[in-house]
Amino acid sequence: MAKKPKTAGGTPATVALTAAGIAFEVRAYEHDPRAESYGLEAAEALDADPARVFKTLLASLDPSTGSGQRGRLVVGIVPVTGQLDLKALARALGGSKAVMAEVAAAERATGYVAGGISPIGQKRAHPTVLDSSALNHDTILVSGGRRGFDLELAPRDLAAITAAVTATIGR
């Protein structure tokens, strides 16, 4: 079986952006595993306004109650300065309820490690919602697929490559 070619310093996110012809800038920094908030750490290390730095969170939409079946995984992208409003996320995707996904499930479904989950280039495409506050900025930063590795790009480009809808899902 042939191995996939490696790109120097690339991640599935950078490969996907390059293939789509979307302009982006790599913004790397030395990650401190003791940091309390990886997102706020990124903002400080990259000298970026924290309102422009977004985190990628996975949730389970309409999880069952007692049948043993899980809901479908969905992605919420919100500023690191706030929290994901799970009710708003569910409404934005036509669901009734959402709960945070288990870390192991998020890692398996995306192919990324927690704290470095990129909304771009995940193993499987998931319904995605980008917080509408992203549209207030020319560019935003999201994880590039590993801790200490962010990507700066236009929010409309992020929405396009992830097929995201925009809604107010942060609080």
Q: What is the pLDDT of residues 17-49, one digit of tens each?
A: 999 999 999 998 888 778 778 888 888 888 899
pLDDT in tens, 50-107: 999 999 999 999 876 544 446 789 999 999 999 999 999 999 999 999 999 999 999 9
Which range of residues forms the domain containing residue 130? 12-167
Is 6 a domain residue?
A: no
Per-residue pLDDT at 43: 81
pLDDT at 9: 59
Identify the pLDDT of residue 141: 96
User: What is the structure's pLDDT at 62?
Assistant: 85
Partnered with residue 129 across adjacent β-strands are 76, 165
Write the CATH number for 120: 3.90.960.10
Predicted TM-score (pTM) above 0.75: yes
Asked whether residue 152 is domain-assigned, the answer is yes
Q: Is residue 3 part of a domain?
A: no
| Residue 21 domain flag | yes
Residue 142 lies in a domain: yes
CA distance 39 to 58: 15
Which DSSP category does 135 fall into?
G
Q: Per DSSP, what are the bridge partners of residue 27?
A: 150
DSSP string computed for 66-78: SSS---EEEEEEE
Q: Is 1 a domain residue? A: no
Tell me: pLDDT of 7 over 70.
no
Helix (H, G, I), strand (E, B) or coil at 153: strand
How many domains, in total, are found in the chain? 1
- pLDDT for 122 equals 94
Residue 2 lies in a domain: no
How far is 49 from 31, CA to CA, in rounded Å? 18
pLDDT band at 3 (very low <50, low <70, confident <90, very high): very low
Residue 4 lies in a domain: no
Task: Find the DSSP H helices in the chain.
Answer: 12-20, 38-45, 86-92, 103-110, 155-162
